[in-house]
Amino acid sequence: MPTTIDIRELPARLNEVLDRAAAGDEVLLTDGNVPRARLVPIPAEAPKERVLNLHPGNIIYMAPDFDAELPDEFWFGEQ
């Protein structure tokens, strides 16, 4: 069951609300009896591991002009 907090109480209880969400709890923010928002924890992402030989045999080619200056049209979004 989520913790319910009226938005008028939120400024005074912000640290508590953030601590609850960080601990994995859900917090329902209401305006009187009307639900306005739901604060949920952000799931932790697993660290991405590099995979050796993911695409064996592929060769990466660098264009001869890879370090050439880009035209003004590119920087101004006109291209």
Mean pLDDT of 57-70: 89
Domain that holds residue 33: 3-39
32 falls within a domain: yes
Give the rounded distance of the alpha carbon of 6 from its chain centre.
Answer: 26
Q: For residues 25-37, b (16+ Cβ closer than 10 Å) or e, as one string?
A: eebebeeeeeeee
Rounded Cα–Cα distance for residues 7 and 79 (Å)? 47
Q: What CATH number did the domain enclosing 24 receive?
A: 3.40.1620
Q: What stretch of H or E contains 74?
A: helix 72-75
75 falls within a domain: no
Q: Greater confidence, 48 or 19?
A: 19
11 falls within a domain: yes
Lowest mean pLDDT among 20-24, 52-56, 63-67: 52-56
Q: pLDDT for 26-60, tens place per residue?
A: 999 999 999 999 999 888 777 778 888 888 888 88
79 falls within a domain: no
For residue 31, the model assigns a pLDDT of 96
Number of domains in the chain: 1
Rounded Cα–Cα distance for residues 59 and 76 (Å)? 33
Residue 9 has pLDDT above 90, yes or no: yes
65 falls within a domain: no
pTM comes to: 0.54
